[in-house]
Amino acid sequence: MTRPPVVALFPEASFGAALNCVAIAQALRAQGAVPVFICHPGFTGIFVEYGFREYHLHPAARPGPAAAPEDHWQGFINRHLPHFDLSPFDQLATYVGPTWAAIVDTAIAAEPSLGETIARIRPDAIVLDNVIMFPAIANAGCPWIRVVSCAETEIADPRVPPYLSGLDAGDRAECDAFRREYRRVTATASARYGALRRAHGLTPLKPGVFLELSPAMNLLLAPSILRHDRAHPLPAQRLRYLEGCVRTEARYDVPVLPANDGPLVYLSFGSLGAIDTALITRMIGVFADIPARFLVNVGGFPDAYRQVPDNVYLAGWFPQPSVVAQCDLFIHHGGNNSFCEALHAGVPSLVMPYCWDGHDNGRRAETTGTGRRLDRAGWSDADLRAAILGLLADAPMRARLGANAERMRADPGPQAAAAAILGVIDESAVGRDTPRARTGHGA
Amino acid sequence: MGERRKRARKSHADLARLVLDMTRERGMRPGAHLSEQVFAESCAVSRTPIRAAFKMLSENGFLTARPGGGYALAIDADAPGALATARLDTQEDALAEMILADRAARRLDDAPSVSFLARRYSVSRVAVLNALKILQAEGIIDRLPGQSWCFRPILDTPRALADSHQFRLALEPQAILTPGFALDPRRALVLRRQMQEMRAAGEGRIAAAAFARLDAEFHGLIARGAANAFMRDALLAHHRLRLITERDSGVPEFRLRQSLQEHLDILDSLERYQFDIAADQMALHLRLSRNPRPDAANRGGPPLLRLPGAALRAGPP
């Protein structure tokens, strides 16, 4: 008697990772597996709406005075919004260091509940799309698969610029200085994380590293057009590059605007970026005089906008893959999912990064000729207008991106990821000599 | 235009929109023949109104009349903007629709003047006043003393969406429990067929706007069945407001199909006269339909650990 393999997906509590995992889960379901989600409390109900069962972690009490979640979130925003105008180097001490400390806090808090949850699910494999390893996953007794849905810079290499730096690998001195400062600002978090690992029987990782490669399989969301030439190639037998990872969404009909002429431009800085209503308001002011139509994701802050121009349409949420497929330019923050969705649709990117791997993808868009980067703090109206019109008029870039999109669509990432995951389960079942998890799928 | 003719035109326009939605759900290509008989059966109406809807669609470029009789699809229903149907409305309805769309899109202030609106839409003050009266009748705008008008709240903020959800949760199950609740069996049959057809549409073929129209029809059917006139009127007005101002289209297709199945299950219970079960199913359906959005940050932001029992936010942070 066999049963379909159960795959527990555990995405980081971010839109990018969550929706990336939804795409993989949709493909796993189509290939006969039973995907379920281990869910951060902030994502309750998200995966259910895509038809997947959710298992919830119980949040341990946070250290410090009790605060309503909304207050906690608002506090985070108020504290960090000014930091997003800083250079990647200056963000290390102000944003990256504190954020790693918070991520380690969540890993420590989640550990007991995560162990219990995995024991309840009894998965045949765990898919981890995160930036930190949880000891409960390493000790779960089943193979785990790492998904790197951040920029490829997350996996260090001498020829790859340092993670979160936005640098070019050729800037040796700057890269070295960034790496040193990164290790310095993450030293305390690294030490605390090392203690957590030791307490659960795992070897601590190198300073500044919070997640190792999986011994079973690693899935990198790094389309060929963006990929770096590595000094030390990643181990081919436990690695699968994904040419995009785009989920299926309901169809989106672009609304008819009062000024309904011209190409379609989509602006989304993600859920975190939508908090910067002053930036988006200023951009909308520039859009008003550009002969194009603009769809603008304003997240939960529609109240911040008045007198919206006739060629601009605001909404708190767009089914992004469906929208990007219909647009001519995507202005985003350099989140890896957004960048890959633009590439998958053959659409150029105007990247205005504010933190994390957005800096790396902004640089990569320029280097690979797949888009442009614009400093979110230092642009003039003329700069923004020129960047938009320049990208819309760049026929060679459009042709290059169109051909690349065809190549990406010929090798769909979700299906490749699902096959690789089921291949790992097959190998594991052979090793354990148990028939229950055999799938008949190859990697 | 007389009231009866206006109503007839609106009814034909609604039917015409439904026909277009169905061509897309069925994956029909340009040039495909539209059978009066098939669409009459799917929409559960006679062939006469279907013929009128086909004629209206033909006059507006969606269908072409075939030389030997009948109609063919003239558009690629999958093409962006192909199903923009504002041109099916009367001039007054179209102006009212534009004003409302601009209000929902935050292009208009809370209290726009008639002269400003006349300039904006290049129409007469009389035309603006007629459109505003339509919106007034819909409960969307109030006439203040003097010549000014003021918009009432619409479903355009996370808070308004949360209030709407709470309002519906309080009233819709209770509407089913009003002694004397009576379902319109003919209308229920029509909706059942339409919802079954939409639910069976292929992957990626359910359009959010078409779902919203059918959803409003279903909940309107329930409201009209209530034996309490105040409840009925309050719910009908609210469903109209939802249909024209709610703009949240981020519901995954899986949930849309699930939602259609929940509608069908509620109809099953109502047709078995199991009103208490139907009311419970309605409450559950509404709770499940509250589109959750994460309270979490982007990658690189520490996740927000939400405490048990904390309310879901109605929109994304």
Q: Identify whether residues B167 and B257 lie together within a single domain.
A: yes
For residue A431, give how far its alpha carbon lies from the nearest alpha carbon of chain B (Å). Answer: 35
Indicate whether B25 and B112 sit together in one domain: no
- Residue B106, domain member (yes or no): yes
pLDDT tens across A213-230, in order? 999 999 999 999 999 999
Query: How many domains is chain B partitioned into structurally?
Result: 3
Average confidence score pLDDT of chain A: 90
Q: What is the mean pLDDT of residues A273-292?
A: 94
Interface contact B304-A250, CB threshold 8 A:
no
- Cβ distance B299 to A271 less than 8 Å, yes or no, reads no
Of A54-68, A298-312, A369-383, B114-128, which range is least confident? Answer: A54-68
Angle between helices A336-345 and A15-30 (to 10 degrees): 50
Buried b (16+ CB within 10 A) or exposed e, A334-348: bbbbbbbbbbbbbbb
Across the range A394-409, mean pLDDT stands at 96
- Judgement on whether residues B139 and B167 belong to the same structural domain of the protein: no
Per-residue DSSP letter, A412: B
Task: Specify which residues A331 forms β-bridges with.
Answer: A267, A350
Q: Does residue B302 contact residue A109 with C-beta atoms inside 8 Å?
A: no
The C-alpha of A290 sits at a distance from chain B's nearest C-alpha, in angstroms, of: 17
Q: Closest to A42 (Cβ–Cβ): which among B81, B256, B304?
A: B304
Q: State the nearest Cα–Cα gap between B308 and chain A, in angstroms.
A: 8
Tell me the C-alpha distance between A292 and A311, whole Å. 7
Interval A414-437 mean pLDDT: 81
Q: Specify whether B212 is located in the same domain as B170.
A: yes
Average per-residue pLDDT in chain B? 82
Provide the pLDDT for residue A72.
58
Distance CA A79, CA A72 (A): 11
Q: What is the ipTM of this complex?
A: 0.75
Q: Are residues B54 and B96 in the same domain?
A: no
**What is d(CA A361, CA B150) in angstroms, rounded to the nearest whole number?**
47
Can you give the pLDDT at residue A74?
60
Q: Is residue B176 in some structural domain?
A: yes
CA distance A256 to A241: 39
Check residue A199 and give left, alpha or beta (phi > 0: left; psi -120 to 50: alpha): alpha
Q: Which two tokens stand for residue A136?
A: 């409960």
CATH of the domain at B115: 1.10.10.10
Ordered domains of chain A (ranges, CATH): 6-243+411-437 (3.40.50.2000), 264-409 (3.40.50.2000)
Q: Pick from B80, B101, B135: which residue ends a domain?
A: B80
Answer whether residue B315 is part of any domain: no
d(CA B267, CA B273): 10
Instruction: Tell me the per-residue pLDDT of A312-329, one tens digit each, with 9 for 90 and over.
Output: 999 888 888 889 999 999
∠A287-A288-A292 over CA atoms, to 5°? 65
Nearest-CB residue to B316 (from A70, A300, A357): A300
In chain A, the largest separation of any two C-alpha atoms, in whole Å, equals 67
| Cα of B204 to nearest chain A Cα, Å | 6
Q: Which of the residue ranges A51-60, A159-168, B52-61, B292-301 has the most confident prediction, judged by mean pLDDT? A: A159-168
Amino acid at A142: C
CB A222 within 8 A of CB A152: yes
Instruction: Name the residue in chain A with its Cα closest to that of B304.
Output: A42
Q: Which pLDDT does position A21 carry in this prediction?
A: 95
| Cβ contacts of A73 on chain B, cutoff 8 Å | 295, 297, 304, 317
Pair (B163, B263) in one structural domain = yes
- Among residues B130, B151, B172, the one where a domain terminates is B151
> B6: pLDDT confidence band, cut at 50, 70 and 90?
low
Q: Is the dihedral of CA A189, A191, A192, A196 positive or negative?
A: positive
A346 has a pLDDT exceeding 90: yes
Residues of B in contact with A12 (CB under 8 A): 299, 303
Judge: B156–A302 Cβ closer than 8 Å, yes or no. Answer: yes
What's residue B300's pLDDT?
A: 47
Give dist(CA A229, CA B97) in Å, integer.
Answer: 55
Flag whether B43 is in a domain. Answer: yes
Does some domain include residue B293? no
Partner residue facing B204 (CB), from A51, A251, A302: A251
State the sign of the Cα–Cα–Cα–Cα dihedral A129, A133, A137, A142: positive
Do B217 and B197 share a structural domain? yes
Nearest by CB to A49, from B81, B156, B255: name it: B255
Contact flag B253-A248 (C-beta cutoff 8 Å): yes
Same domain, B172 and B142: no
Same domain, B114 and B171: no
**Could you tell me if B196 and B270 lie in one domain?**
yes
- What CA–CA distance (Å, rounded) separates B208 from B213? 9
Residue numbers in A near B313 (CB within 8 A): 70, 300
pLDDT of residue B91: 67
Which chain A residues are within 8 Å of B206, Cβ to Cβ?
A: 250-251
d(CA A85, CA A24): 34
Cβ(A382)–Cβ(A285) below 8 Å: no
Q: Which candidate, A315, A324, A301, places its Cα nearest to that of A249? A: A324
Contact residues, chain B, for A285 at CB < 8 Å: none
Interface test with B, best of A20, A149, A271 (most B CBs within 10 A): A271
Domain boundary among B34, B58, B80: B80
Put simply, the answer to whether B305 touches A254 (Cβ < 8 Å) is no
Burial of A1 (0-12, 13-18, 19+ CB in 10 A): exposed
Q: Is the pLDDT of residue A7 over 80?
A: yes
Question: What pLDDT score does A297 carry?
Answer: 93
| Inter-chain touch B249–A315, beta carbons under 8 Å | yes
More confident residue, B126 or B21: B126
- Find the closest chain A residue to B303 by CA distance: A13
* Residue of A16, A50, A58 lying closest to B298 (CB–CB): A16
Q: Check: CB of residue B246 under 8 Å from CB of residue B155.
A: yes
- Residue with structure tokens 């982007």? B298
Query: Is the same domain home to B25 and B136?
Result: no
The predicted structure's pLDDT at residue A395: 97
Q: How far from the centroid of its chain's Cα atoms is residue A207's Cα?
A: 23
Considering only A121-135, A413-427, B202-216, B260-274, which range has the smallest mean pLDDT?
A: B202-216
With respect to residue B312, please indicate whether it lies within any of the assigned structural domains. no
> Which candidate in A58, A80, A251 is best for mutational testing of the B interface (most B CBs within 10 A)?
A251
| Domain of residue B39, residue span | 3-80
pLDDT band, residue A387 (cuts 50/70/90): very high
Q: Which residue has the higher pLDDT, B307 or A245?
A: A245
Handedness of CA B156, B161, B163, B167 (dihedral sign): positive
Report which of B217, B273, B160 is spatially closest to residue B14, judged by C-alpha positions: B217
Count how many pairs of residues, chain A against chain B, have C-beta atoms within 8 Å.
Answer: 214
Q: What is the mean pLDDT of residues A51-56?
A: 94
User: Which residues does residue A55 pair with via DSSP β-bridges, in sequence order?
Assistant: A38
A 10 A CB-CB count for A268 gives 26
Q: A437 falls in which pLDDT band (50, 70, 90)? A: very low
User: According to the per-residue pLDDT averaged within each range, which of A64-78, A346-360, B53-67 is highest?
Assistant: A346-360
**Percent of chain A at pLDDT above 70?**
92
Least confident of A76-85, B93-102, B271-280, B294-303: B294-303
In a domain, B235, yes or no: yes
Q: How confident is the model at residue B2 (pLDDT cuts 50, 70, 90)?
A: low
Task: State the nearest Cα–Cα gap between B282 and chain A, in angstroms.
Answer: 18
Distance CA B237, CA A301 (A): 26
Contact B198, B208 (CB under 8 A): no
Label residue B229 by pLDDT band (50, 70, 90).
very high
The tokens for A76 are 């985070």
* B166, B281: one domain: yes
Q: For position B302, what pLDDT does the model report? A: 46
When mean pLDDT is compared across A63-72, B13-22, B145-154, B157-166, the lowest value belongs to A63-72
User: Is 90 exceeded by the pLDDT of residue A332?
Assistant: yes
Instruction: Tell me which chain B residues have a C-beta less than 8 angstroms from the C-beta of A249.
Output: 252-253
Does some domain include residue B254?
Answer: yes
